[in-house]
Amino acid sequence: MEREYTQEQKYILARKRIEKIGKFYKHLAVYLIVNTFLSAIFIVGDMNDGDTFSQAFYNYHNYKIWFYWGIGIAFQAINTFGISLLFNKEWEQRKVQQYLDEQNKNF
């Protein structure tokens, strides 16, 4: 059963959705800026400890924070945009058609 919303309720819902999307993009920007800065510091620190630039640059320990914070960003993206970001209606229709085609081949 679909609920009927007034114009004011629709506006409030849309406003909350836009605020949520805005917060996600701000978090994504902070993620990129902070992690770039931290990676640069880690690379310079490794170089001060005697590593060459390429050794420090390709040291995966300098990028662990990207991975772990990235998991949080991924969950926030799913929360913000929904799982439909990955599995949208078109994907569902393709899968249904694929399943029906397989069923028709077996009978």
Q: How confident is the model at residue 20 (pLDDT cuts 50, 70, 90)?
A: very high
In a domain, 91, yes or no: no
In a domain, 101, yes or no: no
In a domain, 107, yes or no: no
Helix then strand then coil, in percent of the chain rounded to 5, is 85, 0, 15
In a domain, 29, yes or no: yes
Q: What is the pLDDT of residue 7?
A: 85
Query: Which domain covers residue 77, as residue numbers?
Result: 7-82
Written as one letter, the residue type at 94 is R
CB atoms within 10 A of CB 46: 18
Residue showing tokens 């490794």: 46
pTM here is 0.68
Q: What are phi and psi of 66, to 5 degrees?
A: -60, -45
Cα gap 31→72, rounded to integer Å: 10
In a domain, 22, yes or no: yes
Our count of domains for the chain comes to 1
Q: What is the pLDDT of residue 92?
A: 73
In a domain, 16, yes or no: yes
Q: What is the pLDDT of residue 90?
A: 76
Interval 22-39: pLDDT, tens: 999 999 999 999 999 999
DSSP 87: S
